[in-house]
Amino acid sequence: MICEKCGFKSIYKKKFGIPLCEICYYFSPNDEKSFFNYVEEKIDYSVLETYRNKKPNPQKKGMFEKAKKGLVVSRAPLGYKIIEGKLIPSEKSKEVFDIFNEFVNENISLNKLAKKHNLSVNGLKKVLRNFTYIGKIKFNKQVFQGSHEPIVPIVLFNKAQDKLEKLNLK
Ligand SMILES: [Zn+2]
Ligand 1 centroid distance, CA of 114 (Å): 40
Q: What is the domain range of residue 93?
A: 77-170
C-alpha of residue 8 to centroid of ligand 1, in Å: 5
Residue 116 belongs to domain with CATH number: 3.90.1750.20
Cα 63 to ligand 1 centroid, rounded to whole Å? 17
Number of domains into which the chain is organized:
1
| Residue ranges for the chain with pLDDT beneath 50 | 54-56, 69-73
Q: 51: CA distance to ligand 1 center in Å?
A: 11
Tell me the C-alpha to C-alpha distance, in Å, between residue 41 and each of 28, 68, 106. Answer: 11, 19, 33
Cα 67 to Cα 138: distance, rounded to the nearest angstrom: 12
Q: pLDDT tens across 90-129, in order? A: 999 999 999 999 999 999 999 999 999 999 999 999 999 9
